[in-house]
A = this chain, B = another copy of it.
Amino acid sequence: MTNYDKMYETNDKYSLRGRVFQKLREDILSGKFKEHEELKEVAIGEELGVSRTPVREAFRQLELEGLIQIIPNKGAYVTGITAKDVKDIYMIRSLLEGLCARLATEKITKEQLEEMEENIYLADFHAQKGHLDQMAELDNRFHDILYEACDSKLLEHTLRDFHRYVLRVRQKTLATNTRGRASNDEHRQIMEAIKAGDAGLAEQLANRHMINAYDNMVKNGLKEIYGEATEEATKADTGSK
Which A residues form the contact surface with B (CB < 8 A)?
Answer: 1-8, 10-11, 14-15, 17, 53, 56-57, 60-61, 63-66, 69-72, 79, 84-85, 88-89, 91-92, 95-96, 99, 152-155, 158, 161-162, 165, 233, 237, 240-241
In whole angstroms, what is the CA distance A11 to B2 when docked? 18
Closest to A65 in B: B2
Q: Are B237 and A66 in contact (CB under 8 A)?
A: no
Other-chain residue from B53, B155, B161, B240 in contact with A7 (beta carbon distance below 8 A): B240
Closest chain B CB from A77 CB (angstroms): 10
Chain A contact residues, majority secondary structure: helix
Residues of B within 8 A of A60 (CB): 17, 57, 60-61, 64
In whole angstroms, what is the CA distance A7 to B153 when docked? 29
Q: Are A64 and B3 in contact (CB under 8 A)?
A: yes
Q: Are A237 and B5 in contact (CB under 8 A)?
A: yes
Q: How many copies does the complex hold?
A: 2
Closest chain B CB from A88 CB (angstroms): 5
Q: Given contacts A7-B69, A57-B60, are A154 and B92 in contact (CB under 8 A)?
A: yes
Other-chain residue from B56, B79, B154, B155 in contact with A57 (beta carbon distance below 8 A): B56
Residues of B within 8 A of A53 (CB): 53
Q: Are A7 and B92 in contact (CB under 8 A)?
A: no
Q: Are B154 and A3 in contact (CB under 8 A)?
A: no
Closest to A12 in B: B72
In whole angstroms, what is the CA distance A158 to B158 when docked? 9
Closest chain B CB from A35 CB (angstroms): 14
Residues of B within 8 A of A8 (CB): 63
Residues of B within 8 A of A64 (CB): 2-3, 60-61, 64-65
Residues of B within 8 A of A10 (CB): 72, 240-241
Q: Are B95 and A91 in contact (CB under 8 A)?
A: no
In whole angstroms, what is the CA distance A38 to B152 when docked? 26
In whole angstroms, what is the CA distance A6 to B234 when docked? 10
